[in-house]
Structure 1
Amino acid sequence: MVQKIVTLVFPLFVSLGLLAQNTANKPALSLESRTLVSTGNQLPFWMQMNQLGMVDGSDAFQQLVVLHWLQQPQELDPEQWQFSYGLSVAGRLSEHAVLQPNEYWGRLHYKGWYLHAGAKGEPVFANGLSMTNGNMYLSNNARPMPRVGFGTTNFQLFRSGWLSRFAFDFEYNEYFLLDDRIVDDANLHHKRLDMNYTIAEGWRLSLGLDHWVFWGGTSPTHGELPGFEDYLRYVLGHTGSENAPETDQNNVAGNQLGNYAFSLTREAENSSVELYWQHPWEDGSGTRFENMPDGLWGVSWKQHQPHQLLEAMVIEYVNTRHQSGKYHKEPNPDKPGEVMGNGRDNYFNNSVYRSGFVSYDRMMGLPLFIPGFNADGVSSGFPNTRLWAVHQGMNGWLSEQIGWKTLATYSKHYGQHWAEYPRPKELLSLAAQVDYYLPTKPLAFSLKLAYDNGAVLDSGFGAELRVRFTLK
């Protein structure tokens, strides 16, 4: 079914795109070589994470060759049909050599709306300095999943009066999970709504809701799970039908999880600042904020003037330790016959969809969640879901040709509420990068050094040399 949908929809988008193509914008083509090496048995954290799933962290040495092909309008015209598309292919030489398409997508734009088909990475947030790319649930840590969907960006219902201060970002997607998973042929539904309000000139408040649902497929324990016949139950968050597993009938259909997002942005003449907070939820207790201590807090600052010594900076704190408490429907020792607790949310894990919130063995969002694997080498979810971390990233320019970037993350990991580590595991991850752009040729060189120390990943040093040639 998935292959048929992709086979039918993607060529249709390409055909529509050829009709809507703006010939004034030529595609950009780039070729990239990346050599990675580590003193340990695996690459350091900041050499393997947030790389669109191209880097295999378990190999201490690997050579990557990446081809990028991108076409998109320089500016979207709401009165014209316009088309954008992208393709990236990665070849990796290592103990686990592979040749894989990472991105292949087309997007048709008209009047602020778009139709989408294919696998596409997320827009880079805060110059790539964020630990989460600004979203706990969907960073660029994993290989992009193919999807079909539609959405709008900065859509306004009203053009005048105080109601014109409101704008909306919305998207509705169905993802296809093509990797090996414990539940075969599962699907992933996603919808997001952000309401943006201009408080005053230069000030904007954003309130958002992110909703994800794993649905359908064939489970080795529960057999064939309800599919399209229960689609509205999945999308609307209703309880499971009589054909669903007992846990779905007692709660909601499928594996439902989501995120509340809040941000405040100040746009000044020379710089901008964004404060953001995201609150995760796995069930009703999370939607009622019973897990209130958990979430992502961040601040992002950026200068508008190019080639400044300090161009941008991000500071983030994330906590997932509370999870609505350590008890979940357990006998109450003080009140016989009653149960207590709505906790043990066990973020990004599920008793039916046991592979967890992963794409091709990588966490889709917060990269500090590292999956475990069963005897067949298939993701079996996250053995550690309780952690806290602080992160800081900076970048800038030493000259118009020389840029720099640093990342520093410290985290502490506790296991799960019913399977705590004997003592917390710590991880310190550091990275520094220097970029050099030739002034007269479309050629750039990058050198990254990284270091890990702790019990979560192998301690050690790593280095990466990157060469990129761009043809426009």
Structure 2
Amino acid sequence: MQKQTKKIVTLLLLLCIDPLSGLFAQSISLESNTLAGTKDQLPFWLWANQLGQFDKNSSIIQNFSLNAFHAQQIGASDFSYKVGLDLDLLLADENDIRFTQLFGATSWKFLQLQIGAFPEDEVYAGLSTTNGNLATSRNARPHPRIRAGFNRFVPVLVDWFSINGFFEEGLLNDNRYVKDTHLHYGVLNLRFGKPETLQVTAGVEHLVMWWGTHPEYGELQGWEAYFSYLTAQAGSENALEFDQNNAMGNSYGTYQLTINKNWDKLNATVYISHPYEDHSGMDLVNAVDNLYGIHLSFDKENAFLQNILLEYFHTKDQSGPYHFGQNPDKDAPSRGNDDYFNHGVYRSGVTYHQMAMSSPLFAPIIIEDGISLGFENNRFTGFHIGAMGFITESFRWKGLFTYSNNYGHHDGLGGSTYDPSQKQVSALAQVSWQPPTKKLSISASVATDRGSVYDNGVSTTRLGSMVSFKYHFSK
């Protein structure tokens, strides 16, 4: 039955190529990925940051993917549009066929409107553990949303100061604890400096889970409480008691800071992502919790080392181990135990289709009756190294290495739910080949994990591999 399904869907994908090639003349490709892992799971770097395509709990996966993209200016006007899709067939423990991406966008000058399921743009050559942002990554499948905002940084009054941002509303329509949860996402970035000098970009990103249907309380407040959700106000007398005592909905986000400098042959970026769950995080009570990174990109054709990235991450503090009246020190702030990306009402937390929408290092996800119930571990420290470059003109290499020391949660008594802490090491090595015609590319990856985070505290070594073929049909 599985072989028949594979043949039928493969035929359908091939039949789609001809009509799509007219619409998506710029880019259309067919991709095959074969993955395997030992001990009933894939190693971390075979499933993390793959737009939710691969389930880590499958030991063998066959994936076929049809990708298409087209962008075009409309005549001599200031209007343009772009459309894209990613249709995936997965043959694993549970077969699935789905649109991982399906979106359209239109722009006028510096303004843009996007509709559909689309991912965040990839930064830092795809080498970061979380695309440079602790709260929003490319780990989970894109969810349906509408985004309105700027398509680039726009100068304001002077050429050395510009702004960028957007306002977005989305729907988390997966199988989750609060069904049909809405997700608001707002971003504002301020940039100082010119490209030929030093540029400093500071921004704030705010996300709120709101509305939806709770299994116990029924339908939660919707548009009538929208302003309270967005401004993180306490709920009215019509709201849940939890929301009356706290902010409405599940608010979280990050402060983002990047410093960029260009030289003739080198581009350097230093970045910091600071998470917050409530006012204590926004007030920097948890100032030690950050993702720190540096990315170096070398402008030299076919260089052996083209990109290198270093990251250090720390989420262990979380504004202290006690929350509200639990603190035995009367003089200390009664805030703390932020419990990043988990929530008491929206219990599925910052997940979508049982994968982290935040950094994939927030893991493992607790699953009960097929529903995600947040993260078992969100307090960790560690570092990450990623690099890539050319071996020859046709052969490229890529390497990733990640170490983390994991503490679970604050236990409310000044300790940690992981005691002793659980250490985890994950690594990947990849070689890819693309001939001068650029039509075909082939890559082979090997990955390994060593640690106890994904095995209930038992230290386990896991191996895995992936072989990928990609053919470009575009002209």
TM above 0.5: yes
Q: Please tell me whether the aligned partners of residues 66 and 86 of structure 2 are also in contact (alpha carbons under 8 angstroms).
A: yes
Letter of the 1:469 counterpart: Y
> 1:438–1:325: structure 2 CA closer, same or farther, 3 Å change rule?
same
The answer to whether 1:52 aligns with 2:51 is yes
1:440 paired residue number = 437
2:385 paired residue number = 392
- Determine helix, strand or coil for the equivalent of 1:400: coil
The answer to whether 1:349 aligns with 2:342 is yes
**Structure-1-length-normalised TM-score:** 0.90
1:7 paired residue number = none
Q: Please tell me whether the aligned partners of residues 23 and 70 of structure 2 are also in contact (alpha carbons under 8 angstroms).
A: no
Equivalent position to 2:282, from 284, 287, 298: 287
Correspondence 1:80-91 to 2 at 5 A: 80-91=78-89
2:467 paired residue number = 465
Residue 25 (structure 1) shift: 8.4
The answer to whether 1:317 aligns with 2:317 is no
Cα distance in 2, alignment partners of residues 263 and 317 from structure 1: 15
Q: Deviations over 1:416-437 (max 9, x none)?
A: 1015112111111010000100
1:153 paired residue number = 151
Equivalent position to 2:453, from 456, 465, 468: 456
> 1:78–1:308: structure 2 CA closer, same or farther, 3 Å change rule?
farther
> 1:296–1:78: structure 2 CA closer, same or farther, 3 Å change rule?
farther
- Determine helix, strand or coil for the equivalent of 1:96: coil
Residue 200 (structure 1) shift: 7.6
1:363 paired residue number = 356
Residue 199 (structure 1) shift: 5.8
Q: Deviations over 1:78-120 (max 9, x none)?
A: 9521000100011111111111110000010111110010011
Q: Deviations over 1:25-47 (max 9, x none)?
A: 83311000011111221000000
Cα distance in 2, alignment partners of residues 406 and 362 from structure 1: 23
CA RMSD across the alignment: 2.0
Cα distance in 2, alignment partners of residues 371 and 78 from structure 1: 51
The answer to whether 1:134 aligns with 2:136 is no
Q: Please tell me whether the aligned partners of residues 107 and 151 of structure 2 are also in contact (alpha carbons under 8 angstroms).
A: no
Correspondence 1:7-406 to 2 at 5 A: 26-73=25-72, 79-158=77-156, 163-198=158-193, 201-331=196-326, 333=328, 341-406=334-399
Q: Please tell me whether the aligned partners of residues 262 and 278 of structure 1 are also in contact (alpha carbons under 8 angstroms).
A: yes
Q: Deviations over 1:280-334 (max 9, x none)?
A: 1101111110001101000000012332110000000111100000011125546
Q: Deviations over 1:37-61 (max 9, x none)?
A: 1122100000011110000110111
> 1:374–1:440: structure 2 CA closer, same or farther, 3 Å change rule?
closer
Q: Please tell me whether the aligned partners of residues 213 and 234 of structure 1 are also in contact (alpha carbons under 8 angstroms).
A: yes
Letter of the 1:217 counterpart: G
- Determine helix, strand or coil for the equivalent of 1:373: strand
**Structure-2-length-normalised TM-score:** 0.90
Structure 1 unpaired stretches of 5+ = 1-22
Residue 270 (structure 1) shift: 1.2
> 1:33–1:286: structure 2 CA closer, same or farther, 3 Å change rule?
same
Letter of the 1:258 counterpart: G
Q: Please tell me whether the aligned partners of residues 403 and 424 of structure 2 are also in contact (alpha carbons under 8 angstroms).
A: yes
Letter of the 1:319 counterpart: H
Q: Deviations over 1:206-241 (max 9, x none)?
A: 000000000001112332210011111112222222
- Determine helix, strand or coil for the equivalent of 2:420: strand
Q: Deviations over 1:396-451 (max 9, x none)?
A: 00111000000000011111101511211111101000010022361110000101
Cα distance in 2, alignment partners of residues 390 and 362 from structure 1: 22
Cα distance in 1, alignment partners of residues 261 and 341 from structure 2: 32
Residue 130 (structure 1) shift: 0.8
Residue 195 (structure 1) shift: 0.5
> 1:126–1:207: structure 2 CA closer, same or farther, 3 Å change rule?
same
How many residues align? The count is: 444
> 1:25–1:58: structure 2 CA closer, same or farther, 3 Å change rule?
closer
Letter of the 2:199 counterpart: R
Q: Percent identity?
A: 35
Cα distance in 2, alignment partners of residues 453 and 332 from structure 1: 36
Q: Please tell me whether the aligned partners of residues 48 and 139 of structure 2 are also in contact (alpha carbons under 8 angstroms).
A: yes
Residue 24 (structure 1) shift: 12
Correspondence 1:406-445 to 2 at 5 A: 406-418=399-411, 420-440=417-437, 442-445=439-442
Letter of the 1:42 counterpart: Q
Letter of the 2:465 counterpart: A
Structure 2 unpaired stretches of 5+ = 1-21, 455-459
